[in-house]
Amino acid sequence: MKQGRAVRTRELLIQAAADAFDTTGFEATSLSRICAGAGTSMGALTFHFRSKDALADAVQQRGIALTEEVVQQIFRTRQPPLETVIAITLAVVGLLEESSVVRAAAGLSRERVTTSFPWPSSWIPVIEDLVVREPEGTLNSGTHPRALLSLVTHLMTGAEVLIHTRGEVAGPGHVHAVTQVAEIWDLTLRGVSATVRLPQQRRTEARARSVPGRARTAPDGAV
């Protein structure tokens, strides 16, 4: 009975910490607030976690585990690589909307830059593998796998930040992030225009900005 009670207490602390980290961030969250959220004493918290960093590690590990479970469920369906990439993107964004533990894991990965448990490690390696395995000829001419990986990374990061800053309260006209990401994928797959292309000058400027040591200031009139 004591062991079962200890397990429940630990789970309550992880969930309370995730809720607090998700709302106010790592630095602004106090241990007393986590205790209040879990309905436990400070002694119970320090019994399970020696510090706030240790508790944050546990939240990140739990968020990674939840994300990896969803990613692997989709991966095992054995869809074509690009379809799997899209399905993973939508599923993970949906998970971010639903789970404060996953949101906290993502946010803590940004706050605690030296963490040993970065949340993107739960999906980036699988996406990279799928992109590399995309059969030659299935992507449009000129589409580089690296650009596809960048698209996924920006979609995930943008959705995570949007969900975090918007909060869970849906106001008038609220559109879920997963719906927005689905619309972006649809737009990407169909293409925005058959005639408009990024000017060569802008392509050159973008490449120059990506090289370390190059000037990063845009020329006059550039956006």
At 59 the pLDDT is: 98
**Digitized pLDDT (tens) for each residue of the chain, 223 residues in all:** 567 888 999 999 999 999 999 999 999 999 999 999 999 999 999 999 999 999 999 999 999 999 999 999 999 998 888 999 999 999 999 999 999 999 999 999 999 988 889 999 999 999 999 988 777 677 787 788 888 999 999 999 999 988 988 764 455 566 789 999 999 999 988 887 777 766 765 556 555 555 545 444 433 433 3
User: 55 and 13 in contact (C-beta within 8 Å)?
Assistant: yes
At 215 the pLDDT is: 42
Give CA separation, 217 vs 22, 154, 205, 209, 213, in Å.
Answer: 34, 22, 10, 8, 12
At 214 the pLDDT is: 45
At 62 the pLDDT is: 97
At 198 the pLDDT is: 65
What is the Cα 72 distance to its own chain's centre? Answer: 16
Containing 135, the helix (H) or strand (E) segment is: none
